Amino acid sequence: MSGVYEFVSLLLFCHLMPLLLAAACPPLLSCGDLGNISFPFTTTERPDCGFLPIRNCEDPLKFKMIQLQNNGEWFRVVLVAQLRNSSIITFQIRDKHLYDLLQNESCEAFRYNYTIPPFFHFAALRIQYHTSLFRCKRSLHVSPPTGMLNYTKCPDYDLYYKHIITADDVSRSSLAACTEVQLPIKDVPDAINPFTFVTADITIRVDLTDECADCNYRHGGQCKLDSTEKFSCASVVKKGLSLKAKLGIASVVVGAAGVAVLLMVLACCFRKNLFRRENPTHRIIEGFLKEHGPLPTARYSYSEVKKLTNSFRKQLGQGGFGSVYKGQLHDGRAVAVKILNKSGGNGEEFINEVASISRTSHVNIVRLLGFCLDSSKRALIYEFMPNGSLDRFIYEEKNPLQVAHQLDCKQLYDIAIGIARGLEYLHRGCNTRILHFDIKPHNILLDEDFCPKISDFGLAKLCPRKESAVSIFGVRGTAGYIAPEIFSRNFGAVSHKSDVYSYGMMVLEMVGMKTNIKAEVSRSSEIYFPQWIYNCIESDQELGLQNIRNESDDKMVRKMIIVGLWCIQTNPSTRPAISKVVEMLDSEVELLQIPPKPCLSSYSTSPVHLSCETL
């Protein structure tokens, strides 16, 4: 008899589960490496649960794809960023054709005029980061408007653009005969080469209509259109009552055994939800999202991390933080996977690091492609940098007589400018200002062209513009690069100038090809190279450095030294802002003033105050 009841119970389960699923949309739907998604996103299997269905959510080997209009082109979804019960919704898609053109630096990319369907029934869509470029035929003999940059390497036309151009900008009048194109960007459009800021990874913001947002978030309903094509908030409660009736009829048919099985299923679901709510990792993530907004990067499980590193087969390096392994994403991209050591922390600092770097998009900031926070397992997935870190190339003890790998003065100078521009972006270009607190050669990665990228945001601080100060305690950074005010508030407030100090010490190490602190002393104040090089600059002596081969090299090195000495001034107010550093490096060395001689002493450790002043 028990076998009959088991069979009937199984039938009940199989027939009622589809009814349960169809009755109401779940709050979250799983979509592979995009993580959990919710309204207005849904899967193609549940088109009734949203109006932006994503394809291939169930297939881990395929890209996740989306259409922005009926029968339109399918785009790969790079990431989805949304905060539960909030109208803050963005997602990023990749235009494959535009991507290929930009990778090949083809001017055909500038023939695009990138727009998206502006309005759905329940929301407005817009490209969040974009700019106008003006394509002008050379036969027009356009005179460049004041403040505009131009790019002249396209065969038939020149491009004109600038940092900000509004609808009523006076520059438009002189470009009236040109073709204006709108293109998505990943960085401020102020570079000489537009291929450095135009992107095929398009960030799209979704703004729900007030009535749909109210229906979904306040009432838990579903945004629908009725038979007259007017908005309707479909109530989940009504469907629930209908389902109860169906359950009542089914329970009479199958008897007590069926009801018991159903209760067991519901109890199991309840226990899973309870566990999810009580999971400390889940609480940390939810708490951070509520405070800082959604994390715009993919989250991986530990099993997925293990798979993409081929069970951690190829180790790239190891340090106090953990180990780095080479891996490969399913789209073929090489990645560096940093597996962090187990710590007693609750994951808050780790999420802070993920949030800091995932909010950035700049050619001189390493790109975070994903992260893993799976119970005690923590990992960061970065784009792979084939040349490793800068310290491999500037310290003699790490690179003895390896001429093939030595960097010449021009390369070092370009690296110094690149790092400064990356820092300028962190301090001024982000929506949320980021103070790094650990700028050093080990945290500067180099790509195949030796383009520098700032990495390792473990000590970084998010500094919202609306807040004037944040308190920190203890010492942040690495000995030899820590600014005096971090040791003692007597020197001034900790601010963006603390990163400038670390940058200056690093630049002097790049010039001297050695560390600035003596190996036998523990105090970061006991430096010798900066003091020696200051005397050389002040008295206009020959520098006698091994990598100076001609007058041009000498000028570049002297410029780096003067800038570095300005950056390591003891008083933070005397140091230049990083934007001024970029300006100094771009100017002639003869125009740079010799700074006061740095005067350093031992510092005591005490709580300090972090100032987020306007730059």
Residue 74 placed within a domain:
no
Higher pLDDT: 510 or 458? It is 510
Q: pLDDT tens for residues 54-89?
A: 999 988 778 899 988 777 889 999 888 776 555 668
pLDDT of 445 over the 80 cut: yes
Q: Measured on CA atoms in the order 580, 502, 486, 354, is the torsion positive or negative?
A: positive
Residue 52 placed within a domain:
no
Q: pLDDT tens for residues 273-331?
A: 444 444 555 566 656 655 655 666 788 889 999 999 999 999 988 766 778 999 998 88
SS3 518: coil
pLDDT of 444 over the 90 cut: yes
- Ranked by mean pLDDT, the top range of 93-107, 108-122, 159-173, 212-226 is 93-107
Same domain, 371 and 436: no
The total of structural domains in the chain comes to 3
Q: Which residues contact 545 (CB under 8 A, 6 or more apart)?
A: 511, 512, 513, 557
What are the catalytic residues?
A: 438
Tell me the pLDDT of the chain averaged across its residues. Answer: 77
Same domain, 522 and 581: yes
pLDDT score for 75? 92
Mean pLDDT score, 135-156 = 86
Same domain, 291 and 355: yes
pLDDT score for 1? 46
Residue 394 placed within a domain:
yes
The CATH number assigned to the domain holding 312 equals 3.30.200.20
Q: pLDDT tens for residues 254-266?
A: 555 555 555 565 5
Residue 438 placed within a domain:
yes
Residue 169 placed within a domain:
no
Higher pLDDT: 317 or 238? It is 317
Residue 505 placed within a domain:
yes
pLDDT score for 345? 54
pLDDT score for 86? 59
Where a domain ends, among 332, 349, 384? 384
pLDDT of 395 over the 70 cut: yes
pLDDT of 347 over the 50 cut: yes
Residue 360 placed within a domain:
yes
Annotated binding residue at 338?
A: yes
Mean pLDDT score, 513-539 = 59
Amino acid identity of residue 476, one-letter, is R
The CATH number assigned to the domain holding 436 equals 1.10.510.10
What percentage of the chain exceeds 70 in pLDDT? 73
Where a domain ends, among 250, 278, 306? 278
Domain limits for position 244 = 2-23+235-278
Residue 542 placed within a domain:
yes
pLDDT score for 493? 80
Nearest to 94 by CA among 207, 199, 188: 199
Same domain, 404 and 484: yes
pLDDT of 576 over the 90 cut: yes
Bridge pairing between strands 433-435 and 201-208: unpaired
Same domain, 264 and 292: no
Mean pLDDT score, 584-598 = 89
Mean pLDDT score, 228-251 = 58
Higher pLDDT: 503 or 171? It is 503
Same domain, 379 and 457: no
User: DSSP secondary structure string, 23-69?
Assistant: HS--S-EE-GGG-EE-TTEEETT-GGG-SEEEE-TT-TTS--EEESS
pLDDT score for 476? 66
Where a domain ends, among 360, 384, 408? 384
Residue with tokens 């002043």: 613
Global confidence as pTM: 0.56
